[in-house]
Structure 1
């Protein structure tokens, strides 16, 4: 039997990515936390081996309001390849889920542009984990993969996306993708 795994999206009461390691240690004192990512308005806490309600209750006691509890036991079933959903998740700084949304489509097709979107999302995950050096490496690789991509990926203007990502390499901050 597989360990149940849940991704808990909770309010961020003011943590910065630089405080991630300490927050993870504190959370591990009260629940089986595998990882934590710090976004500007929310926290993403990955837990395993605990039921969803117990996890919700413990996270609410530790950091505050829980917005969602998502069963991620079977990661392969998380994504449908919907670019609009990818954009929605990305713009909500839910980068790990954004990458999971399109990964199955990339695995089926091997499309370099989809791989570029996945790596771009993974880069921002690294920012949330307080690893700016890894952000730079992944963002640069994403830019290379998106070079020569079609003008549009679903509703995404690739040229504009590449410009935004290049600016993020300097600012080390996320941006919103315009979907047209």
Structure 2
């Protein structure tokens, strides 16, 4: 995963950025692109020895902020929740989704729906970052359903606030980012 600094791009630039990155980095696989207010995020498969070369080739798009090898991690539940919240609040929604999925696998009954609701919010905002707003709104609706029986605080996450934000987005039809 490569995070370039966002130097003025919006989610509507995603398709063009992905095409440009693929043209610049022909000797690797660039699967996807997402644009947050902070980063232009690329999912890449590249030999570790060629990573610096790829970063250099992508400089015409934007400078590198950071790179991270994404693998399924087996970390304690509380640490994973904190990491998921940190990723979410840094607009790294794909990574938040991935780490919280590990938490979800360790949950039972009602907690499972609550965590899945938060995962769906992150997944929805991934679609927003790809300029897929109708998909985002649809997934946010599913997230609302999963969170409908939850309230209060979950490991420091204000579930009521998330539900309020989702209601506001649904009522206005305008997607807005928020922290959890």
Q: Which interval holds the TM-score relative to the shorter structure?
A: 0.7 to 0.9
Of 2, 5, 25, which aligns to 2:19?
A: 25
**TM-score under structure 1 length normalisation:** 0.85
1:48 shift after superposition: 0.8
Structure 1 segment 51-130 matched on structure 2, within 5 A: 51=48, 52-59=51-58, 61-72=59-70, 74=71, 76-77=72-73, 81=77, 82-109=80-107, 111-130=112-131
SS at 2:176's partner residue? coil
Deviation sequence 1:79-115 (CA, Å, 0-9, x none)? 6542222222111111011111211111232511111
Does the alignment pair 1:13 with 2:7? Answer: yes
Matching residue of 2:168: 167
Matching residue of 1:45: 42
Deviation sequence 1:35-78 (CA, Å, 0-9, x none)? 1101112111111134322232222x222221111112x3x227
Give the conservation status (yes or no) of the 8 Å contact 2:3–2:67: yes
Gaps of 5+ in 1: 1-6
State the superposition RMSD in angstroms: 1.7
Paired with 1:145 and 1:29, the residues of 2 have a C-alpha distance of 40
1:165 shift after superposition: 2.2
Give the total of aligned pairs: 168
1:161 shift after superposition: 1.3
Aligned pair in 2 of structure 1 residues 68, 79: CA closer, same or farther (>3 Å)? farther
